[in-house]
Amino acid sequence: MNAISVGSVVANSLPLAAIIKYESLHKPVYILMANMAVSDIVAGVSFICTCFIVYCYAKAGISPPLACLRFLFTAALLSALSSAYSLLALTGERYWFIVHGMTYENKITNDRCKVAIIVVWMWSSIWALLPVFGWSCTYPLQAGCIQYGGGTPNNYLVLVLTLVFIPMAAIVCCNLGVFRCLWRQVSDIRRQEAAVQAEPTTSRKSAITVLIITIVFLVGWLPWCAAVANKVACKEDCGSMDPSMMVFVILNSAINPIIYGFRLEEIRQNVKRLFVGHAVNAWSP
């Protein structure tokens, strides 16, 4: 699992570096994908830190301090919230590109995407840091609390799950809108793409790429969210959370850069430029 985490951090760093370095990738869709890569890097780093700290304290035969447990749990919550809202921003950008293509250039700009990224991280950080600033239990087994994070109130976890499911629902609605538009207006889209000399499959390919990322996100995070929800709803001793839940989370982060590479030629070609150092020709969405 640590090997997967390290691989996730390295794999996500490659498209992130390419998007930052090469001006041809300084477009709204790629800026938002870079933000997704940062979220996945945060998830990988937090998982590595968690495993390392737990291993060290277990080897010493003592329990980690509450402050350490709360920090690790906060990191996991931050990665969950930032991933959900980063994917929502990316899906919203694709929705506008497909459904409202005539106003896309004026409404969706690089600067606005950067502002959206700042809002995503500020919003996610505020809610994830609340336990650190006092919304926590005095001890793990206190009534109305679960032991995660050194003692976390059930009502706080209900709030976090709500904050995750809201963007999930919005993402699903946006994807439905995108594919309904593609289904109804596929001939018009082809004529529009031909007029601007774009590749015929550009719009559909980018939309399907975001859909695949969405499915991977849901498969990765829903089991963990379901396990947390089960712990909150459980009235008796329900045992500890299955560690395999976190495997899905870290696999989600590791798979995303593979999706970028296989589905988006321009990212794949510019990642190659990081190593070979010469220009390549690629399509742009």
Spatial CB neighbours of 245, under 8 Å, sequence gap ≥ 6? 223, 224, 227
Local structure of residue 279 (DSSP, 8 states): -
**pLDDT per position as a tens digit, 177-227:** 777 776 766 555 555 555 544 454 555 666 677 777 778 877 877 777 777
> Mean pLDDT, to the nearest integer, of 76-89?
88
pLDDT of residue 25: 87
CATH number 3.40.50.2000 is the correct assignment for the domain at 2-276: no
For the chain, the domains span: 2-276
Whether 235 has a pLDDT exceeding 60, the answer reads yes
Contacts (Cβ under 8 Å, ≥6 apart) of 18: 25, 267, 270, 271, 273, 274
Confidence at 31, pLDDT banded by 50, 70, 90: very high
Q: Is 262 a residue whose pLDDT tops 80?
A: no
Buried b vs exposed e over 51-74: b needs ≥16 C-beta within 10 Å? beeeeeeeeeeeebebebbbbbbb
Task: Out of 33-42, 125-134, 254-263, pick the least confident.
Answer: 254-263
Residue carrying the six token digits 């277990």: 58
The pTM of this model reads: 0.80
Which of 36-45, 47-56, 274-283 comes out lowest in average pLDDT? Answer: 274-283
